Amino acid sequence: MDSHDLTRMLEAVSLGTLSPADAALRLRTPVLEETGGFATIDLHRKVRCGFPEVIFGQGKTTEQVVQILGTMIRHGLGGLATRISAETGSALLAAYPQGVHNPVSRTFRVKGPDDDGPKLGRVVVITAGTSDLPVAEEARVTAEAWGCEVTLIADVGVAGIHRLFNRISSFSGADALVVVAGMEGALPSVVGGLVDCPVIAVPTSIGYGANFGGLAALLGMLNSCSSNVVTTNIDAGFNGGHVAGLIARRAGQARASAKDTQSSGESAHGPATH
């Protein structure tokens, strides 16, 4: 259950189609659960924030990630693990064969029972180069996990700017864009000048020595002259996908609510005539 589902449940209680007792039963979940003596899992984050807690795999042992994800699955949350090693990915797939291991993005995802609903919002992830794909894939997997329709456009950097212009129709109309680039980090500024939606710029550590491990791209993006561009940390594909998912999902929820209101009005008064 996310914040949108919670609102709909409360509306059902108000309309009398769901009893207060049944609503209370759905909410009767421990707020926290300690696992293995090494993790305290926030089980109500999805209700508060719309998205469950995400497992950051870097620095955790394989067994720790397996146990944490198991606790989340047991509580009906599904789960997403990021920055996992190939060894951890294989162990997770063996323990939870219903999940999906993406070795490029270094993620593992198990869907929750509420994750197969209609897509809410549209996110497009764009990369400057093929070398940026691991970070871009992390953004894509994250936005998809948050229930958004996601498109990935790869290798359209400014060194061959015509490649980007040939794909404008593929990303115009998106609710949010994630633009991933290394080197000098110029692509988000260019994209920002072509669209009317938020652009989440993600600098990567790809580049030669003076790139300083992504610092040059980060500073370039922070100094973007396109006013709809905001910037994450270096290689932070998860953060880019998460923020884009928040924006797009809210936009999708607004469209769905407007459509429901219009349908209710037409049902009560008949279709509008002109």
pLDDT(1) > 80:
no
Please compute the mean of the pLDDT values over residues 142-163 and round it to a whole number: 94
Q: What are residue 82's DSSP bridge partners? A: 56
Instruction: Answer left, alpha or beta for residue 78, where phi above 0 means left and psi between -120 and 50 means alpha.
Output: left
Please compute the mean of the pLDDT values over residues 93-110 and round it to a whole number: 96
Query: Of 168, 220, 226, 177, which Cα lies nearest the Cα of 198?
Result: 177
For the stretch 169-205, pLDDT in tens is 999 999 999 999 999 999 999 999 999 999 999 999 9
Read off the pLDDT band of 42 (50, 70, 90): confident
Q: At 21, which helix (H) or strand (E)? A: helix 20-27
The reported pLDDT for the residue numbered 202 is 98
The reported pLDDT for the residue numbered 18 is 86
Share of the chain above pLDDT 90, in %: 63
> Which one is predicted more confidently, 71 or 9?
71
Which domains are seen in the chain, by residue range?
Answer: 31-116 (no CATH), 122-244 (3.40.50.1970)
* pLDDT-wise least confident of 136-150, 177-191, 259-273: 259-273
Please compute the mean of the pLDDT values over residues 126-130 and round it to a whole number: 96
Q: What is the pTM of this model?
A: 0.83
Give the SS3 label for residue 129: coil
What does the mean pLDDT of the chain come to?
89
For the stretch 2-21, pLDDT in tens is 566 677 788 889 999 889 88
Please compute the mean of the pLDDT values over residues 246-256 and round it to a whole number: 88
As a whole number of Å, the end-to-end CA separation of the chain is 40
Share of the chain above pLDDT 70, in %: 92
